Structures are given as C-alpha cells and as structure tokens.
Amino acid sequence: MPEQTWIPRFRTPRATITKVLRSPAFAESRERAGVISDDSAALRRLADIVETLDHTQAPLSAVADRVAAAVRFLRARADRLESSPLAPSTTGPSRPEGRSSPDPADGAEPASTAAGDAARVRLIVAALDYLVTPMDLVPDCRVGGYIDDVFLLGWVFGAAVNELSPYLEDPQDEDRELQ
C-alpha cells in the first residue's frame, strides 16, 4: 500500500496549534481566564471588547458565528454568576443531549463532569482573551496577524462544542423571523 504523500489543506497542522497553545501569550490568557471566568463584570468587559472586533473580514470571518456564540455564552454565564454567585453553572441554557445527567438523589453534578465543564469554560475565556490580546504569537498589527487567533479559536470551539451549541443561533434572528 503506497504511503500518503499529500497533506490535507483544510486541517490545522498540529505543529501550528501546538505553537499557539504553548505560546507565552496564551499562557498569560489562561492565567487571566481563571480570574475572569468567575467575575461577571470581567466576563461582560471581555464580551464587549470581543464585539468591537471586526470579525466579518477574513480570517476572523471563518469563525464569526462561533465567536458570536461565545460572546452570548459569556453574557449568559455573567447573568448566572450574578443570580447565584455560590453555584455558577458552566453549561448552556439546558444540558446538551447525549450528556449524562447528574444523579437526582444527590442533587449535584459528578465531580469529573463539573471539573471538565469548568475547564472548558476557562478555555473559552482564555481563547477570547487571546483574541483581544494584540501582541500574541503573530502580532495582530501585522498582515495576517489574526491567523493564529483563528487556529486557536477553531480548536477551542471544537473542544467546547457542547458549551457553545446552545448559543449558536442568535435569539434576535428568531425574533425577526416571528415578525
């Protein structure tokens, strides 16, 4: 059987995403995410900053719908933190299908599920913080400066698909369709 000599052009090379994930800029974003993810005011500030970016032009247009969903996710998380600061929920408005439900007898989520959800929340926050950080692996002021951000966002949004899927549809679009 002949060896595969071609490389698919539609996939992110592992080396590229590894460089971004190991970059000092993303390490700083991960550190900030630990604080931001549990602070409703900081989540709202980050959402506001992300919304000011022009993600309708390439290369950010490739992930624009996911960025908008992540912003809605941040705002919903901020709302939940404000309404119940002692027990923040890390998932969307409803538990995604296919996920195991917590045992109703104990009234709490299994520790492994809660820890995984919290890690994905911090990952989403870190990726959006990296997006708004101008001096990252490829500085945003350079031509093609957002390409590393797109690689990272695509990878993170794939890892956190269960958290973001409830926010993919814009509620304002649904209101317009009803009118």
Q: Which of 161, 144, 147 is nearest to 19 (CA)?
A: 147
Give yes or no for residue 43 having a pLDDT over 80: yes
Mean pLDDT of 96-108: 42
Give the start-to-end residue ranges of the domains of the chain.
14-93+111-166
**Entry pTM:** 0.75
What Rg, from alpha-carbon coordinates, does the chain have?
A: 18
Winning range, highest mean pLDDT, from 20-34, 54-68, 142-156, 163-177: 20-34
Q: What pLDDT score was predicted for residue 114?
A: 82
